[in-house]
Chain A
């Protein structure tokens, strides 16, 4: 319900500034708040949680070669359900109960901008 209201509010805002990509700005905030603590401010996999004993490096989102191996659906899946859902490390948390599907779709687009890559198709 609350997220619905927020969505309506931002939709209303969006219609005031027809030209500005408001959704992208929201996504940037969501990315910074939830993801950069591990993936780093520029998405390079170097957030403050990545200390010497952090067992696996969080994906470097600017590495086009690695990111190209993932389709948009793969990314959405791993963001929603966490590393183990894609046979990856559980150090990548599941966000399905924290973020809305729209927010995750926004994040997938955002990661494509960071990697400058299209990803695996289909």
Chain B
């Protein structure tokens, strides 16, 4: 069954590629599979994590919505030179991130980027979130809810502040699609049914979520 789906998907990519006159995503998929990326990442939705055990048994983050989550330029650069995103080792609260993610050569990173960017979720409304530093968003991030208790961000004087259990948000403005940040907060069960982050639906209003999403999407890396 799985191989049929894979074949069907492959065929779909080929058709898409031919009609667009570029073979990148299909080639990227082949590189992804040959490179063993699939040992640690799954690329077909919907979310498979139903229990804490499901989450803890994973060796890397799910990538089935990568095209909705990441900004393409960031992804292309990261695959060639992957710097730690999570301060701690994946699924560990004790060890630091060893920073040993497999690297791709330039020639492979381009098609793999195309492939990953083709994996989108229609649960993300595009163009909804305009990044902006806003005091309401900041207030939610640092006071109303403990977002900063679990996520690193850049504070005054370019100092890195915040907790270490969640992915660092220091570069969120160049790494993440602003629209996805909002969708992630609004639709927790779609993207990550089981995670260490609390569900905020019903606790933060739609307005609050929009403001905090705009705020997080405005985070720029410190130079």
Interface residues of A (CB under 8 A from B): 2, 6, 29-30, 33-34, 36-38, 41, 47-51, 53-54, 90-98
In the docked arrangement, what's the CA distance between A36 and B150, Å? 12
| B136 close to chain A: CB less than 8 A | no
The answer to whether B196 and A93 touch across the interface, beta carbons within 8 angstroms, is no
The answer to whether B149 and A49 touch across the interface, beta carbons within 8 angstroms, is yes
Task: Specify which chain A residues have a CB less than 8 angstroms from the CB of B201 in the assembled complex.
Answer: 97
The answer to whether B93 and A37 touch across the interface, beta carbons within 8 angstroms, is yes
**Residue in B52, B143, B193, B198 whose Cβ sees the most chain A Cβ within 10 Å:** B198
- Using CB atoms, name the residue of chain A closest to B55: A33
The residue from B53, B161, B165, B200 contacting A48, defined by CB atoms under 8 A apart: B165
Task: Specify which chain B residues have a CB less than 8 angstroms from the CB of A48 in the assembled complex.
Answer: 88, 93-94, 163-165
Interface string of B184-210 (1 = CB under 8 A from A): 000000000100101111110000000
The answer to whether A97 and B199 touch across the interface, beta carbons within 8 angstroms, is yes
CB contact under 8 A between A49 and B165, given known A33-B196, A97-B203: yes
The answer to whether B52 and A29 touch across the interface, beta carbons within 8 angstroms, is yes
| B144 close to chain A: CB less than 8 A | yes
Shortest Cβ gap from A42 to chain B (Å): 12
In the docked arrangement, what's the CA distance between A48 and B94, Å? 7
CB contact under 8 A between A47 and B198, given known A37-B165, A53-B161, A90-B143: no
CB contact under 8 A between A51 and B164, given known A33-B196, A98-B198: yes
Tell me the chain B residues, 114-169 only, with Cβ under 8 Å from chain A.
143-146, 149-150, 155, 161-165
In the docked arrangement, what's the CA distance between A54 and B152, Å? 11
In the docked arrangement, what's the CA distance between A11 and B197, Å? 26
The answer to whether A93 and B145 touch across the interface, beta carbons within 8 angstroms, is yes
CB contact under 8 A between A34 and B149, given known A48-B88, A51-B163: no
In the docked arrangement, what's the CA distance between A32 and B143, Å? 25
- Using CB atoms, name the residue of chain A closest to B53: A29
| B6 close to chain A: CB less than 8 A | no
Shortest Cβ gap from B143 to chain A (Å): 6
- Using CB atoms, name the residue of chain A closest to B150: A49
In the docked arrangement, what's the CA distance between A38 and B198, Å? 13
Task: Specify which chain A residues have a CB less than 8 angstroms from the CB of B20 in the assembled complex.
Answer: none
